[in-house]
Amino acid sequence: MYTNVFKPYLLHYMGNPENNTSFLEDSDVSIRLKLAGLWTSVTLCYLYGDYFELYVPQKTQGLLNGENLLNSPIKLLTAAMILAIPALMVAGSLILRPAFSRGFNIFFGVGFTVIMLLIAATSWSAWRMFYVFYALMESGLTMLIVYLAWKWKIIKK
């Protein structure tokens, strides 16, 4: 439960179970909830990054006059389908059979990590540093998704 390094801090601020003072319960969280929570965080980061991009000079003008990356119905549909995946993975992590959930989390986690690292590498400019920040954070979250899914406990019969 407590590590030796943090034990004095935790006992001081959260109580000591050995002398009947109050303390916070540390309950286990299932792998499914961890993965769903991480995909939720990733989805929110995508939304925030795209929202803040509206503040980049000339961005809204490009949206109005059609001079932007998503300037055709096919491109817009493709982007919508790609960005639906993280949102669907929230539910998928909870309801799919474990083997499918694990496989999809690893596959899409790796895919979105690569995409976001490429976006981070190609977005270096003063007005896009927030985008690099979000891309790196999102990459860290999706790497954690891959790690947790990979380490999903396998029960042998």
Taking only the tens place, the pLDDT of each residue in 109-124 is 999 999 999 999 999 9
| Domain-located, residue 127 | yes
Tokens for 148? Answer: 């947790």
Return the closest-CA partner of residue 106 out of 152, 42, 44.
Answer: 152
Residue predicted with more confidence, 9 or 55: 55
| Domain-located, residue 134 | yes
CA angle 133, 136, 142 (to 5 degrees): 140
Digit-coded pLDDT (tens) for 49-59:
999 999 999 88
Between CA 119 and CA 35 the distance in angstroms is 23
| Domain-located, residue 22 | no
| Domain-located, residue 5 | no
| Domain-located, residue 19 | no
Structurally, the chain folds into a number of domains equal to 1
SS3 86: helix
| Domain-located, residue 6 | no
pLDDT at residue number 130: 95
Q: Is the separation of the CB atoms in 105 and 145 below 8 Å?
A: yes
pTM (2 d.p.): 0.82
Q: Which domain holds residue 69?
A: 29-150
| Domain-located, residue 16 | no
| Long-range contacts at 90-93 (CB < 8 A, ≥ 24 apart) | 90/36, 90/39, 90/40, 90/43, 91/36, 93/32, 93/35, 93/36, 93/39
Sign of the CA dihedral with 71 first, then 77, 82, and 86 last: positive
Residue predicted with more confidence, 120 or 60: 120
Between CA 109 and CA 38 the distance in angstroms is 10
| Domain-located, residue 156 | no
